[in-house]
Amino acid sequence: MTLYIISKNTLLQKRWSTILSVFHPICRESLPATLGNDSLVMIHDDILCQLNEEQKKRLFALHVMVLSTTPTFEQARLVLSLGAKGYGNTMMHESYLISACQAIQEGNVWLSPEYINLMIQELPMMPKKATNPLEYLSHREAEVAILLSQGDSHKEVAEKLNITVRTVKAHATAIYSQLNIKDRLALALLLRK
């Protein structure tokens, strides 16, 4: 997969290309006329605003991560609805930037943890199914699952249950395995059905 970094800001281009050097990125100040279907495009939202509808349609048919100098949850929702596979802050931590590229390359969507929590909180509550997935979990795992599905972070769950963050992560891993799901968002969807 070819990684394109699209920004007119040369400092951002340099930062992103240095952090993501293992992906051998190609830096551009504008969207290239042709991009392969296997391209991963990290684009600054300033450039995104300058694209016409046809260019946006072509862009969002690819694997796209939008990075914003002033990110907002509303913009995250908008670009995801258009087809973006990721959204974040232009100055996000190096580990997040690498994680985002890896997730998108694997066909997943990447958002910062706080935006994932906000998305979970926006999910509508559904009537309970006949079979409650929590029945498969221990009492403590069920407590952790409920809090995670409500959008609490690992740290918040740890504080509420008076356990360590490491223990919360261990419970979360066990929960995901037992319920055959991948992450907190899938857990929230499962428990809100």
Domain with 82 in it: what CATH number?
3.40.50.2300
Q: How many domains does the chain have?
A: 2
Q: What's the mean per-residue pLDDT of the chain?
A: 88
The answer as to whether 61 is a domain residue is yes
Q: What is the pLDDT of residue 127?
A: 53
Q: What is the pLDDT of residue 1?
A: 81
The answer as to whether 121 is a domain residue is no
Please identify, among 60, 77, 111, the residue that sits at the C-terminal boundary of a domain: 111
The answer as to whether 47 is a domain residue is yes
User: Domain span at residue 144?
Assistant: 127-191
**Together in a domain, 106 and 27:** yes
**Together in a domain, 20 and 65:** yes
Q: What is the pLDDT of residue 130?
A: 47
For each successive 10 residues of the chain (193 residues), what is the average pLDDT? 91 94 91 83 90 87 92 91 92 93 89 85 61 86 92 93 94 91 86 75
**Together in a domain, 11 and 101:** yes
Q: What is the pLDDT of residue 124?
A: 66
Q: Could you tell me which residues come within 8 angstroms of residue 61 by beta carbon, excluding any fewer than 6 positions away?
A: 37, 83
Q: What is the pLDDT of residue 38?
A: 83
